[in-house]
Structure 1
Amino acid sequence: MAHSMRLIVVVAFSRADNGELVPAYNPMQLNSEEDAVSMARYLARQHAGVLAWTFEEQSGTGEYGPPTVLFQSSEVPTFIGN
């Protein structure tokens, strides 16, 4: 029996010298939605924006469906979560 995989990711953003939002560091993969929201809330105190989201694998294809936003703080690039 195939099971679907879920990715839970958190990324924080800082402002570059030109004002653009850029990832503060590589996205983090966490084990649970609760851990992701907790980490995102912590990072939100230190960064211009934070986003936590999850992706579900579609029917064992190895491809992921649209993201579900778990937490968003302040500003994040528009290409994420849209």
Structure 2
Amino acid sequence: MSDTILPERKLPKLIVVMAFDPDDEGIPQTVFGPQDYPTEERAVRTAKGLAAKHKGVIAWSREAEVDVGEYGPPTTLFQQAKCRKWCDRSGHVRPRGDC
């Protein structure tokens, strides 16, 4: 019997960008995404470009094996909200309420 410990299997990474704008009543609506990206760098570059055009943008990643429903904790890569009500106390984009 072997005492060899196998390395922990690393899950694929889910990398996503979303953008938000208010509707006619000021309620945030998704206007871009959620869109998957192959790299975190590309997602951040896209999110920064979208930030000039939209009220709220977020790029985030997490390890995920979607087929079996395994997800790691999310990591925010980039975020910007031009409406304070769209941010939680830590400044993270959480679209809710009107602008």
Which TM-score bucket, shorter chain as reference? 0.7 to 0.9
Counterpart position of 1:24: 31
Question: RMSD across aligned C-alpha pairs, in angstroms?
Answer: 2.4
- Superposition deviation, residue 78 in structure 1: 5.1
Identity over the aligned pairs, expressed in percent? 43
Contact 1:10 1:50 in 2 (8 A): yes
Unaligned residue ranges in structure 1 (runs of 5+) = none
Contact 1:21 1:77 in 2 (8 A): no
Q: Deviations over 1:45-81 (max 9, x none)?
A: 00001000001127xx5321221000001143258xx
Specify the structure having the higher radius of gyration (Cα): 2
TM-score, normalising length: structure 2:
0.68
- Superposition deviation, residue 3 in structure 1: 4.3
Q: Secondary structure at the match of 2:43?
A: helix
Unaligned residue ranges in structure 2 (runs of 5+) = 1-6, 87-92
- Give the aligned length: 78
Counterpart position of 1:38: 45
Contact 2:20 2:95 in 1 (8 A): no
